[in-house]
Amino acid sequence: MGAIAGIKYTKDKTGRKRYVRIDLDMYGENPLIEDFLDLLDIEASRGEPTIPLREFIKEQNKKRGINV
């Protein structure tokens, strides 16, 4: 595979390609890169406690003094 501008691969100790560095100045507006980064954020939050949306809205309204 040839070199791609703004994309660099890093190999591990065994010589296997393991890491990729993406120049976000070049590719940051790419929807696929944005989706990939969003998925990383989602994966990082896996297992964290959640609350139902209605409960969240209720709490936010209470904090802002909105009576619905």
Q: Which residue has the tokens 């393991």?
A: 18
Over residues 31-45, the pLDDT tens digits come to 998 898 899 999 999
Give 3-state DSSP helix, strand, coil % of the chain, rounded to 5: 45, 20, 40
Banded model confidence at residue 67, pLDDT cuts 50, 70, 90 = confident
Q: How far apart are CA 6 and CA 25, in angstroms?
A: 9
Banded model confidence at residue 68, pLDDT cuts 50, 70, 90 = confident
Banded model confidence at residue 1, pLDDT cuts 50, 70, 90 = low
